Amino acid sequence: MRERIKELISEESIERRIRELAAQISCDYKGRPLHLICILKGGAVFLCELAKRIQNEGLTMDFMSVSSYGSGTESSGIVRIVKDLDEPLMGREVLIVEDIIDTGSTLNHLRKLLLERGPRSLEICTLLDKPSRRLQDVPVRYSCFKIPDRFVVGYGLDYDQRYRNLPYIGVVEFQDSENS
Ligand code: IMP
Ligand code: MG
């Protein structure tokens, strides 16, 4: 089996949408220092592109890596922290930056966990959202694109750790190597 990547959302569309979102975030957090939390590794590319377009004096960022227990592609919602944040969240205006919300299990659990650390506010910003797959309700404040139930890669998202560097979002299509 070989795979082929078919473009779903172009680099131009993503950049345009990120600019819009960054302007909205700049406005919403005016006068309040924003603390961005990047969920590694998928959220890394989105965080960089978003952060440099946000105007917010005192903006800070931190990184965390989680893995959810579960079999195969379905996440159980039990989140294990692989790399924790370096800084406390107490009293801060926190915005979680995520690549994609699928079933919602990971973020639902992570959100509860981070709320216990006493942030002043805690919101979620995601590049992609697959609402048709949702099993757990998650309050998403900012979302760039809603997409159908397809497995996508690029802009930080991977298939077997590959394709994170693609500048666009693409759908993975599998094909028999004999016919390609
Ligand atoms: P959830 O707990 O089901 O919402 O899991 C979300 C996580 O699953 C994301 O942060 C991604 O790491 C991964 N994921 C879900 N859908 C895709 C996809 O289409 N492509 C790549 N990774 C995905
Ligand atoms: Mg992720």
Average pLDDT for residues 88-97, to the nearest whole number?
98
> Residue 179's pLDDT is what?
53
pLDDT interval class at 88 (50, 70, 90): very high
Alpha-carbon distance of 167 to 115, in angstroms, equals: 33
Identify whether the C-beta of residue 56 lies closer than 8 Å to the C-beta of residue 26. yes
> Residue 79's pLDDT is what?
83
Q: Of all protein residues, whose CA lies closest to atom 11 belonging to ligand 1? A: 100
The domain total for the chain is 1
Alpha-carbon distance of 85 to 62, in angstroms, equals: 6
Which one, of 18, 24, 23, 27, lies nearest residue 99 by Cα? 18
Identity at 152, one-letter amino acid code: V
Place of tokens 């070989």: 2
**Position with higher pLDDT, 105 vs 126:** 126
> Residue 3's pLDDT is what?
87
pLDDT in tens, 19-50: 999 999 999 999 999 999 999 999 999 999 99
Q: Is residue 65 part of a domain?
A: yes
Taking the alpha carbons of 38, 43, 48, 53 in that order, is the dihedral positive or negative?
negative
pLDDT at 54 over 90: yes
Q: Is residue 33 part of a domain?
A: yes
Q: Is residue 105 part of a domain?
A: yes
Q: Is residue 60 part of a domain?
A: yes
CA of 58 to the centre of ligand 1 (A): 31
- Per cent of the chain over pLDDT 90 is 83
Q: Is residue 173 part of a domain?
A: no
Alpha-carbon distance of 98 to 36, in angstroms, equals: 10
> Residue 175's pLDDT is what?
82
> Residue 148's pLDDT is what?
95
Q: Of all protein residues, whose CA lies closest to atom 9 belonging to ligand 1? A: 100
CA of 40 to the centre of ligand 2 (A): 7
* Residue 45 CB neighbour total at 10 angstroms: 21
Identity at 1, one-letter amino acid code: M
- For residue 52, the enclosing domain spans 16-149
Kindly report the CATH number assigned to the domain that includes residue 131. Answer: 3.40.50.2020
pLDDT at 110 over 80: yes
pLDDT at 117 over 60: yes
> Residue 53's pLDDT is what?
98
Give catalytic residues, as residue numbers: 102
> Residue 174's pLDDT is what?
85
Q: Is residue 6 part of a domain?
A: no
CA of 158 to the centre of ligand 1 (A): 9
Region label for 118, one of left (φ > 0), alpha (ψ between -120 and 50) or beta (otherwise) = left
Q: Is residue 156 part of a domain?
A: no
Residue 109 makes CB contacts below 8 A (sequence gap 6+) with 68, 77, 78, 79
pTM of the model: 0.93
pLDDT in tens, 128-180: 999 998 998 999 999 999 999 999 999 999 999 999 999 999 999 988 765 54
Identify whether the C-beta of residue 156 lies closer than 8 Å to the C-beta of residue 14. no
Alpha-carbon distance of 109 to 113, in angstroms, equals: 6
